[in-house]
Chains A and B, each alone.
Chain A
Amino acid sequence: MPIFIPSSLTEATQLLSKNPDAHLLTGGTDMMVEVNFNHRHPDTVIALRNIPEFQRWNIDTASGLVHIGSSVPYATMEHGDLAKALPALAEAARTVGSPQIRAAGSIGGNLGTCSPAGDSLPVLAALDAVVHLQSESSRRSVSFAEFMVGPKRNSRLPNEIITGVSIPITNGWQGYAKVGVRNAMVISVASVCLAIHDNKVRVALGSLGPTIIRCTESENWINSIGLANIDHSLAKEFADHVRAESRPIDDHRSTAEYRRHAVGVLAARLLLRGVQK
Chain B
Amino acid sequence: MTITKTQRDILGSSALRPDGISKVQGDFAFSSDLHAENMLWGATLRSPHPYARIVSIDVSGAWKIAGVECVITAEDVPGQLTYGLISEDQPVFARDVVRYMGEPVAAVAADHPETCRRALAAIQVVYEVLTPLTNPEHAIDASHEPIHPDGNIIRRQRIMHGDPTATAPIVVEGTYDIGMQDQAFLGTESALAIPDHDGAGVEVFVATQWLHEDRKQMAKCLGMPEEKVRLVLGGVGGAFGAREDISLQVHTALLAMRTSRPVKMQYGREESFFGHVHRHPAQIWMRHHANTDGRIVKIEARFVFDGGAYSSTSSAVLINGVTHTQGPYQCPNAVVDGYAVRTNNPPCGAMRGFGVVQACFAHEGQMDKLAAATGIDEVEIRLRNIIHTGDTMITGQVLESVAPLERCIRETAAMPLPAEMGSHPHELDLPGGSGRTADRRNIVRGIGWGVSMKNLMYSEGFDDYSTARCTLTNGSVELKFATSEVGQGFVTLAPQIARSVLGVDNVTYDTIDTQIGSAGSTSASRQTWMSGGAVDGACRMVRERLFEHVGAVHNIDPLRLAIDDTDIIDTVGTLRISVQEASANFSVSETYEYHHRKTEDLDENGQGNCHVAFAFVAHRAVVDVDVELGLVKVVQIATAQDVGRVLNPMSVTGQIEGGIAQGLGLAVMEEIIVTNGIVRNPSFTDYLLPTALDAPQVVISMIEVPDPQAPMGAKGVGEAPCISVTPAIVAAIRNATGKSIDRCPVRPQDICF
Given B270, B631, B693, which contacts A179 in the complex, CB threshold below 8 Å?
Answer: B631
The reply to whether B694 and A253 form a contact with Cβ atoms under 8 Å apart is no
Q: Which residues of A contact B748 (CB under 8 A)?
A: 179, 181, 189, 254, 258, 262
**A244 CB-CB contact with B under 8 Å:** no
The reply to whether A253 and B753 form a contact with Cβ atoms under 8 Å apart is no
**B599 CB-CB contact with A under 8 Å:** no
Give the distance in Å from the alpha carbon of A65 to the alpha carbon of B77 in the complex.
Answer: 68
Most chain-B CB neighbours within 10 Å: which of A91, A181, A255?
A: A181
Q: Which of B656-688 contact A (CB under 8 A)?
A: 668-669, 673, 675, 680-681, 685-686, 688
The reply to whether A178 and B436 form a contact with Cβ atoms under 8 Å apart is yes
Q: Which of B460-514 contact A (CB under 8 A)?
A: none
**B752 CB-CB contact with A under 8 Å:** yes
The reply to whether A183 and B633 form a contact with Cβ atoms under 8 Å apart is yes
Q: B356: shortest Cβ distance to chain A, in Å?
A: 26
Give the distance in Å from the alpha carbon of A68 to the alpha carbon of B688 in the complex.
Answer: 32
The reply to whether A183 and B691 form a contact with Cβ atoms under 8 Å apart is yes
A178-B435, A265-B628 in contact; A184/B752 too (CB < 8 A)?
no
**A54 CB-CB contact with B under 8 Å:** no
The reply to whether A179 and B117 form a contact with Cβ atoms under 8 Å apart is no
Give the distance in Å from the alpha carbon of A261 to the alpha carbon of B434 in the complex.
Answer: 20
Given B439, B442, B691, which contacts A182 in the complex, CB threshold below 8 Å?
Answer: B691
Interface of chain B: mostly helix, strand, loop or mixed:
loop
Give the distance in Å from the alpha carbon of A94 to the alpha carbon of B631 in the complex.
Answer: 18
Give the distance in Å from the alpha carbon of A178 to the alpha carbon of B436 in the complex.
Answer: 7
Given A187, A261, A269, which contacts B437 in the complex, CB threshold below 8 Å?
Answer: A269
Q: Which residues of B contact A32 (CB under 8 A)?
A: none
Give the distance in Å from the alpha carbon of A94 to the alpha carbon of B693 in the complex.
Answer: 13
The reply to whether A255 and B436 form a contact with Cβ atoms under 8 Å apart is no
**B372 CB-CB contact with A under 8 Å:** no
Give the distance in Å from the alpha carbon of A191 to the alpha carbon of B434 in the complex.
Answer: 12
The reply to whether B688 and A186 form a contact with Cβ atoms under 8 Å apart is yes
**A257 CB-CB contact with B under 8 Å:** yes
Give the distance in Å from the alpha carbon of A147 to the alpha carbon of B233 in the complex.
Answer: 54
The reply to whether B434 and A184 form a contact with Cβ atoms under 8 Å apart is yes
The reply to whether B691 and A185 form a contact with Cβ atoms under 8 Å apart is yes
Q: A203: shortest Cβ distance to chain B, in Å?
A: 16
**A266 CB-CB contact with B under 8 Å:** yes
**A274 CB-CB contact with B under 8 Å:** no
Q: Which of B621-671 contact A (CB under 8 A)?
A: 628-631, 633, 668-669
Give the distance in Å from the alpha carbon of A146 to the alpha carbon of B436 in the complex.
Answer: 29
The reply to whether A183 and B629 form a contact with Cβ atoms under 8 Å apart is no
Give the distance in Å from the alpha carbon of A155 to the alpha carbon of B434 in the complex.
Answer: 31
Q: Which residues of B contact A176 (CB under 8 A)?
A: 436
Q: A238: shortest Cβ distance to chain B, in Å?
A: 15
A181-B688, A183-B633, A186-B688 in contact; A255/B433 too (CB < 8 A)?
no
The reply to whether B436 and A91 form a contact with Cβ atoms under 8 Å apart is yes
Q: B510: shortest Cβ distance to chain A, in Å?
A: 37
Q: Which residues of B contact A38 (CB under 8 A)?
A: 117
Beta-carbon nearest neighbor of B121 in chain A? A38
**B690 CB-CB contact with A under 8 Å:** yes
Given B437, B668, B680, B747, which contacts A266 in the complex, CB threshold below 8 Å?
Answer: B437
**A174 CB-CB contact with B under 8 Å:** no
Q: B21: shortest Cβ distance to chain A, in Å?
A: 22
**A195 CB-CB contact with B under 8 Å:** no
Q: Which of A255-277 contact B (CB under 8 A)?
A: 255, 257-258, 261-262, 265-266, 269, 272-273
Q: Which residues of A contact B321 (CB under 8 A)?
A: none
User: A175-211 vs B: 1/0 string, CB under 8 Å?
Assistant: 1111111111111010100000000000000000000
The reply to whether A252 and B681 form a contact with Cβ atoms under 8 Å apart is yes
Q: Which of B135-187 contact A (CB under 8 A)?
A: none
User: B412-455 vs A: 1/0 string, CB under 8 Å?
Assistant: 00000000000000001001111111110010000000000000
Given B431, B439, B686, which contacts A269 in the complex, CB threshold below 8 Å?
Answer: B439
**B571 CB-CB contact with A under 8 Å:** no
A37-B270, A182-B694, A184-B694 in contact; A257/B753 too (CB < 8 A)?
yes
Give the distance in Å from the alpha carbon of A177 to the alpha carbon of B430 in the complex.
Answer: 13
The reply to whether B436 and A261 form a contact with Cβ atoms under 8 Å apart is no
**A95 CB-CB contact with B under 8 Å:** yes
Give the distance in Å from the alpha carbon of A258 to the alpha carbon of B753 in the complex.
Answer: 8
Q: Which residues of B contact A273 (CB under 8 A)?
A: 439
Q: Which residues of B contact A91 (CB under 8 A)?
A: 436
Give the distance in Å from the alpha carbon of A87 to the alpha carbon of B628 in the complex.
Answer: 25
Given B435, B681, B753, which contacts A95 in the complex, CB threshold below 8 Å?
Answer: B435
User: A207-242 vs B: 1/0 string, CB under 8 Å?
Assistant: 000000000000000000000000000000000000
The reply to whether B693 and A183 form a contact with Cβ atoms under 8 Å apart is yes
Give the distance in Å from the alpha carbon of A252 to the alpha carbon of B675 in the complex.
Answer: 9
B: interface residue count bin: 35 or more
Q: Which residues of B contact A269 (CB under 8 A)?
A: 437-439, 442
Give the distance in Å from the alpha carbon of A129 to the alpha carbon of B432 in the complex.
Answer: 27
Q: Which of A1-58 contact B (CB under 8 A)?
A: 36-38
Beta-carbon nearest neighbor of A187 in chain B? B685
Q: Which residues of B contact A187 (CB under 8 A)?
A: 685-686
The reply to whether A258 and B434 form a contact with Cβ atoms under 8 Å apart is no
Q: B713: shortest Cβ distance to chain A, in Å?
A: 40
The reply to whether B690 and A182 form a contact with Cβ atoms under 8 Å apart is yes
The reply to whether B436 and A184 form a contact with Cβ atoms under 8 Å apart is no
The reply to whether B669 and A179 form a contact with Cβ atoms under 8 Å apart is no
Beta-carbon nearest neighbor of A188 in chain B? B435
Give the distance in Å from the alpha carbon of A206 to the alpha carbon of B692 in the complex.
Answer: 25
Q: Which residues of B contact A182 (CB under 8 A)?
A: 433, 669, 688, 690-691, 693-694
The reply to whether A184 and B437 form a contact with Cβ atoms under 8 Å apart is no
Q: Which residues of B contact A175 (CB under 8 A)?
A: 436
Q: A189: shortest Cβ distance to chain B, in Å?
A: 8
User: B725-753 vs A: 1/0 string, CB under 8 Å?
Assistant: 00000000000000000000001110011
A253-B686, A257-B749, A262-B629 in contact; A183/B436 too (CB < 8 A)?
no
Q: Which residues of A contact B688 (CB under 8 A)?
A: 181-182, 186
Q: B315: shortest Cβ distance to chain A, in Å?
A: 31
The reply to whether B435 and A181 form a contact with Cβ atoms under 8 Å apart is no
A182-B688, A184-B691, A258-B748 in contact; A177/B628 too (CB < 8 A)?
no
Most chain-A CB neighbours within 10 Å: which of B439, B673, B686, B748?
A: B748
Q: A95: shortest Cβ distance to chain B, in Å?
A: 5
Beta-carbon nearest neighbor of A33 in chain B? B685
Q: Which residues of A contact B673 (CB under 8 A)?
A: 252
The reply to whether B437 and A181 form a contact with Cβ atoms under 8 Å apart is no
Given A36, A94, A272, which contacts B434 in the complex, CB threshold below 8 Å?
Answer: A94
Q: Which residues of B contact A185 (CB under 8 A)?
A: 691, 693
Give the distance in Å from the alpha carbon of A252 to the alpha carbon of B674 in the complex.
Answer: 9
Q: A181: shortest Cβ distance to chain B, in Å?
A: 5
Q: Which residues of A contact B675 (CB under 8 A)?
A: 252
Give the distance in Å from the alpha carbon of A253 to the alpha carbon of B688 in the complex.
Answer: 10
A177-B437, A178-B436 in contact; A184/B693 too (CB < 8 A)?
yes
24 A-B pairs within 8 Å (CB atoms) are namely: A37-B268, A37-B270, A38-B117, A175-B436, A177-B437, A178-B435, A178-B436, A179-B629, A181-B668, A181-B747, A181-B748, A183-B428, A183-B433, A183-B694, A184-B691, A184-B693, A252-B680, A253-B681, A257-B753, A258-B749, A258-B753, A261-B749, A261-B752, A262-B629
Name A's B-contacting residues (CB within 8 A): 36-38, 91, 94-95, 175-187, 189, 191, 252-255, 257-258, 261-262, 265-266, 269, 272-273
In the complex, besides A265-B628, A269-B439, 11 extra interface pairs with C-beta distance below 8 angstroms are: A179-B432, A181-B668, A181-B747, A182-B691, A183-B431, A184-B433, A186-B688, A253-B681, A254-B748, A258-B630, A261-B753
